[in-house]
């Protein structure tokens, strides 16, 4: 009964399109921006029932965000204006707000059908949540991989230090004095001072403080 009631507001030329078999959710907007058909798949996808959607302005009844961050309501208005000008629009992605308060990615495409009173828009909505989840995981993996490989990419800016120099550098970073470093590494204070001078030269620093700052900046030291 509800399906027939919805169809009475739709021109005859549209009925065959609405009855066509498709796995996508489908709804129709009339030239006055009102939703005049809302099928069972649209109900299942959004949790919003036909009886509460049909007759409402689409820009009020449907809420969400497009990929660029623009409100879905603005996109719906823009698509109708383009249809009135005889222009078409490509499909686009929307994070649709559902009844439960969730947000679900969908792919939206539309077909404009001319009628005496103006263009009707037939919207096809395809669930793309899983595809976006896979894409987000891949992007995160790429980001993590890039952050790990970044020091290697800038290796030309990192001086090559000997294992002993790195040990001295780490102990300096922990606040150890020349005497304490010598005791810990079983080196004479003169040898430790030679290592410190080599570190300053390699890092292009004029003081131990500057050397430590540069070492942290280029990734030779890692804060715990």
pLDDT tens readout for residues 160-188: 888 888 889 989 988 899 999 988 888 88
Predicted structure pTM score: 0.58
- Name the residue with higher pLDDT: 31 or 223: 31
Nearest to 214 by CA among 176, 163, 172: 172
What CA–CA distances, in Å, run from 25 to 11, 46, 47, 177? 20, 10, 12, 71
Per-residue model confidence (pLDDT) at position 17: 77
The average pLDDT across 26-45 equals 94
Q: What is the pLDDT of residues 7-29, one digit of tens each?
A: 446 777 787 778 777 789 999 99
pLDDT confidence of 5, banded at 50, 70, 90? very low
In order, the DSSP letters of 52-85 are HHTTSBHHHH--EEETTS-BHHHHHHHHHHHHHT
Res. 121: pLDDT tops 90: yes
- Domains of the chain plus CATH, in order, are 2-128 (3.30.450.20), 155-224 (1.10.10.10)
Please tell me what DSSP assigns to residue 43.
H
């Amino acid at each position: 009964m509800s399906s027939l009631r919805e169809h009475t507001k739709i021109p005859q030329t549209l009925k065959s399109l609405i009855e066509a078999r498709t796995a996508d959710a489908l709804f129709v907007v009339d030239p006055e921006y009102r939703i005049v058909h809302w099928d069972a798949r649209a109900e299942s996808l959004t949790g919003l029932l036909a009886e509460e959607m049909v007759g409402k302005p689409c820009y009020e009844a449907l809420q969400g965000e497009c990929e660029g961050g623009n409100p879905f309501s603005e996109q719906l208005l823009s698509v109708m204006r383009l249809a009135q000008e005889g222009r078409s629009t490509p499909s686009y992605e929307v994070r649709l707000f559902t009844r439960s308060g969730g947000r679900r990615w969908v792919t939206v495409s539309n077909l404009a059908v001319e009628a005496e009173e103006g263009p009707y828009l037939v919207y096809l909505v395809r669930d793309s949540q899983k595809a976006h989840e896979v894409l987000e995981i891949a992007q995160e993996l790429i980001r993590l991989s890039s952050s790990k490989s970044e020091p290697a990419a800038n290796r030309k800016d990192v001086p090559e230090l000997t294992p002993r120099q790195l040990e001295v550098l780490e102990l300096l970073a922990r606040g150890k004095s020349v005497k304490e470093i010598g005791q810990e590494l079983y080196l004479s204070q003169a040898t430790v001072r030679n290592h410190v001078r080599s570190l300053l030269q390699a890092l292009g620093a004029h003081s131990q403080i500057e050397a430590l700052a540069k070492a942290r900046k280029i990734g030779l030291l890692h804060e715990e």
